[in-house]
Structure formats: C-alpha cells, structure tokens
C-alpha cells in the first residue's frame, strides 16, 4: 500500500497538491482525502484547551475574579492512535489530542518601551504568546532528536543536518476570540445595541460606500454633532470601553485591548457571508437587519490607506494591515489577524528553526471560541487577502487552512465575566499579566507583565532572571544551546558560514 504525504502550495490563484510516495501506512493518504472534522470537532479542541487552562495553569497570572478578564490561545497536536486499520473510508480515525503550548494576554507595549537587545516581549496578546510558546516546544523537540537521539515529533530529512515533521502529525491553533484586526470587522445586527447610527444594508454589495449618504439630515446631525453620544464615546481615552453596559451585557469595544465588538456571542447570523446577506435583502433568518460592523481597536498602518470612520457599516475598510492600539504610545506590533496571515504563509517555526527543518510548519486548522464571529471575515483576513503574495522561497505558500468555530465560551472572557458580575461595583478591566506555557520538561511556565517576568524590579530588568523564556534573546539562547549540542560535521549547510558568530 502507498503512504501519501501532502504538501500544499498556492501559486497565484491555483492550488497544487504535491504528493510524495513512500511505503509504510495509509495515514497520510487519509489526511489528504478526509476532512479534519472527522478526526476532531471544534468543541473538542475548545474543551481540551479550557480544561488545560483550568488544571495545568496555576493561579498566578490569571484574572482577578469578577474584576478582570483575559483571552486564551493554544496549539494542539493531533496524532492518530497506533495500530489502527482503515478498511473503510467512512471509518473514523481515532486520534490523541495534546495541548503543546498555551498563552493568555491582552496587552502590547508601546514603541518607546521596545528594546534592541530583545529581552522584552513587545506583544503579549494571547495568540502571539501561544505561538512563541510553540516555538519553544519545537526547539525542545529538535534538541531531543538531534542531540539526545530520543523520540520526537521530527524525523530525519533528505539533506544533511535537516529534519522534517512526522507525516502523521497535525497542529490545530485555538483562540478564545476572533483575532484583533481585519478578522474582527464583522457584520452587526439590528438587534444589537449600536455604537453608531444604523445605515442601509447595501454594505454587502458596496462596503466602502459613504455611510453619511444613507442618513437623513437630522439623523446625520445627531450622529456627527459635537454633543452626540457617539462622538462622546469616541473621545474616551484608549483602554476605556466605548460602550455602555446594559442588562449585564457589554456592547462595542475596548479601544486599548484585544477583544472587540459588541459582546453577544450567540448571534448565529454573524456567520452569514455578505453574499448570503445580500441574497436576503439585508435580512437575517430571524428578521434582523445588518446595520453596522463590529469594530476593531487595531489602527491602520501609518502611511497606508485609512478607515473612513463614517457612521455605520462604512466605518472600517477591510483587508488592510493594522497595528495594535496602545495607551497614548503607538505600538509597532501588527494585529493578530495580520500575524496569523503571515504564519499561514511562512509557517510558525520562525527564521532560526528554518536552519534545521526542510519544510515550514503550518497550522492545519484554526478554531475560534464562542464570540462575535464571521466565517467570511476570517477567510478574508487569513487567506483571501494574501492570494497575490508571490516570489516566495521553495516550499512556502498561502495555505488553505481550515477555520471553524466552537460553541463553547471561555469562562474568563470579557463576556463570561461580565455576565457573572451583573450588578457588581467597579469597572471590568483586562488582566495585566500574560501566561506562557510550553510542553517542555524544564520551567514550562512563564508569567509576564509589561513584557518582563511578573514581579521583576527595575534593578533586575537587565539581569538574566528578568527575561521571559519566550523573549527573542532567550529563544536565541535556546537555539545556541541546540547548535552547541550537535557535532559540527552534522550541522546543516546554512549554518556552516556563520558558526563563529553564533558561538562567540
């Protein structure tokens, strides 16, 4: 029987499936022909991540009950159970699911706090923490197989010193909320409280139309006048939610944090594409009109096209690159939508690990928890707007990553905490700490605040103890340790010319 291993390359607008043949089992053939949902479900991935968060992560770094909220992201390894027989295409494959990295967080440092030596975490949004924790896991797995000759997720490649991922493995990325930036710009229904005056629903056919032309003169003045509720809300300082809390539910977004948009997560009509909405003349199955969009706090990249900021559905332009918001000090960190799109082209391994592996490590699927969500916006933000990316090195390409949503809500999301606290006094705020966890034997946990280990004093900032284990400099030190543990005659060719620089 043939064992087929798939690699997907996107060239221009055509997808080509490259299959290489070997002679072991049928697993990779099954992967190529069977949808991922037969091996796992979105709810199974979400449940596994929530349980890991509750059980494996300590109290340190988690939100203060009834006062703080956070976001969660993780990478889950999917692997088939050994010794299965697949005698029927309808038979479900039994798989093991393991969380190999996890991150929480909502914060991002400003440009003035960035440091050239790489000892600070610039971006502590959950998705980025989880991805950097995943890179730490990959470094450990490479060390196992290359230096210690132990079992690992990697197997020898075809070239000297290079390794490749075992063909029976998949990695699924989970996030409890839609990524900030382009993926968060999604339809808002008439039944939701509006941050802006509603406009006509022909945004599906012409989303960039000036919304002001859809308003009656008196309504336009109400929206745009200096004393209007909308303008007053927009004047709130970054980090303070431009919302009101009604009946225990928060509406609209927090400009200085990652989670955005009106909160009700159970509006199934948000999953409709713009074409489907237009087909029903702007009405959802429940009779509600699409009158606005959920907004993102991420700002357009300076010097590029910007948002119109007109009331209603034309407030944002979609498909643009954005940077994360900051409290006064502008950040240099791209939005999570942009970073996920980049990982979907270049892989999650990073430049250092590419010295040791033959192929990029791509995510097979992305699962989003229960929250405001649009399948079309996710496809647009992570795949479609990248279709014209070209001139990539061999082996790289835009991947048709599977995107699904779970119906399970993260218990410490802003929505869940807001619902629990109801009439509690005080303002609900994002948790200031970020948690990193990796499936490594030594010091798997890392809790940071403002980019440094939580509790670090100003005097300690420049010491080794005041570095996150997933900071650039510490990941580089791990790479150096890996390199020094391998005999020089087994190094990959790409490193032979820079050995002295790495070991000095």
What residues act catalytically?
A: 127
Residue 446, both tokens: 């890392």
Nearest 5°: CA angle at 202, between 196 and 206?
A: 100
Cα–Cα dist 176/49, whole Å: 9
Cα–Cα dist 61/123, whole Å: 16
Cα–Cα dist 312/322, whole Å: 20
DSSP 178: P
Task: Tell me which residue of 380, 382, 362 sits closest to 31, measured CA to CA.
Answer: 362
Cα–Cα dist 91/238, whole Å: 52
Residue 125, both tokens: 């949004």
Task: Tell me which residue of 78, 75, 70, 68 sits closest to 52, measured CA to CA.
Answer: 75
Cα–Cα dist 438/133, whole Å: 5
Residue 497, both tokens: 């010319």
Say if CB 200 and CB 393 are below 8 A apart.
no
Residue indicated by tokens 């494996």: 56
Cα–Cα dist 456/294, whole Å: 37
Would you mind telling me the total number of residues written for the chain in this entry? 504
Which residues does 480 contact at the CB level (< 8 Å), separation at least 6?
Answer: 502, 503
One DSSP character per residue, 439-479 reads S-SS--EEEEETTEETT--GGGTTSGGGS-TTSHHHHHHHH
Q: How many CB atoms lie within 10 A of CB 113?
A: 14
Identify the three-state secondary structure at position 382: helix
Nearest 5°: CA angle at 336, between 452 and 40?
A: 105
Residue 181, both tokens: 């930036």
Say if CB 313 and CB 211 are below 8 A apart.
yes
Exposure of 249 in the CB half-sphere (CA atoms within 13 A): 12
Please provide residue 342's backbone torsions phi and psi, each rounded to the nearest 5 degrees. Answer: -65, -45
- Angstrom distances, CA of residue 282 to CA of 32, 138, 213, 269, 455: 38, 47, 18, 11, 52
């Amino acid at each position: 029987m043939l064992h087929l291993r798939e690699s997907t390359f996107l060239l221009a607008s055509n997808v080509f499936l490259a299959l290489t043949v070997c002679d072991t089992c049928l697993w990779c053939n099954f992967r190529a022909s069977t949808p991922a949902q037969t091996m796992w479900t979105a709810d199974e991935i979400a449940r596994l991540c929530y349980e890991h968060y509750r059980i494996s992560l300590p109290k340190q770094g988690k939100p203060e009950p009834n006062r703080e909220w956070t976001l969660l992201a993780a990478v889950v390894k999917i692997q088939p159970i050994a010794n299965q027989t697949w005698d029927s295409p309808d038979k479900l494959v039994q798989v093991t699911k393991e969380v190999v990295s996890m991150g929480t967080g909502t914060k991002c440092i400003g440009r003035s706090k960035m440091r050239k030596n790489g000892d600070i975490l610039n971006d502590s949004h959950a998705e980025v923490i989880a991805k950097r924790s995943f890179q730490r896991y990959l470094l450990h797995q490479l060390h196992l197989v290359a230096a210690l000759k132990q079992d690992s997720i990697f197997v020898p490649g075809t070239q000297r010193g290079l390794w490749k991922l075992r063909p029976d493995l998949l990695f699924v990325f989970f996030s409890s909320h839609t990524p900030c930036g382009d993926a968060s710009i999604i339809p808002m229904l008439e039944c939701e409280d509006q941050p802006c005056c509603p406009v006509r629903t022909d945004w599906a056919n012409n989303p960039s139309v000036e919304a002001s032309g859809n308003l009656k003169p008196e309504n336009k003045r109400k929206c745009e006048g200096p004393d209007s509720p909308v303008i007053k809300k927009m004047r709130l300082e970054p980090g303070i939610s431009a919302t009101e809390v009604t009946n225990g539910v928060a509406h609209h977004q927090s400009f200085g944090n990652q989670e955005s948009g009106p909160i009700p997560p159970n509006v199934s009509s948000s999953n409709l594409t713009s074409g489907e909405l237009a087909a029903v003349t702007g009405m959802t199955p429940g009779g509600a009109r699409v009158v606005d969009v959920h907004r993102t706090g991420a700002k357009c990249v300076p010097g590029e096209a910007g948002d119109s900021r007109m009331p209603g559905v034309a407030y944002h332009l979609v498909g643009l690159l954005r940077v994360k918001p900051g409290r006064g000090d502008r950040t240099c960190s791209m939005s999570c939508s942009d970073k996920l799109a980049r990982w979907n082209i270049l892989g999650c391994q990073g430049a250092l690990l590419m010295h040791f592996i033959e192929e990029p490590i791509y995510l097979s699927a992305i699962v989003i928890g229960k929250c405001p969500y649009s399948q079309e916006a996710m496809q647009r933000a992570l795949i479609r707007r990248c279709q014209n990316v070209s001139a990539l090195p061999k082996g790289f390409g835009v991947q048709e990553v599977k995107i699904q949503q779970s119906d399970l809500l993260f218990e410490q999301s802003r929505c869940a905490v807001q619902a629990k606290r109801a009439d509690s006094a005080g303002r609900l705020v994002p948790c200031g700490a970020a948690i990193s966890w990796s499936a490594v034997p030594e010091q798997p946990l890392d809790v940071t605040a403002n980019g440094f280990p939580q509790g670090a004093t100003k005097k300690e900032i420049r010491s080794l103890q005041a570095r996150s284990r997933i900071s650039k400099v510490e990941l580089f030190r791990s790479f150096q340790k890996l390199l020094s543990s391998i005999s020089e005659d087994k190094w990959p060719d790409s490193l032979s010319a820079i050995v002295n620089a790495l070991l000095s």
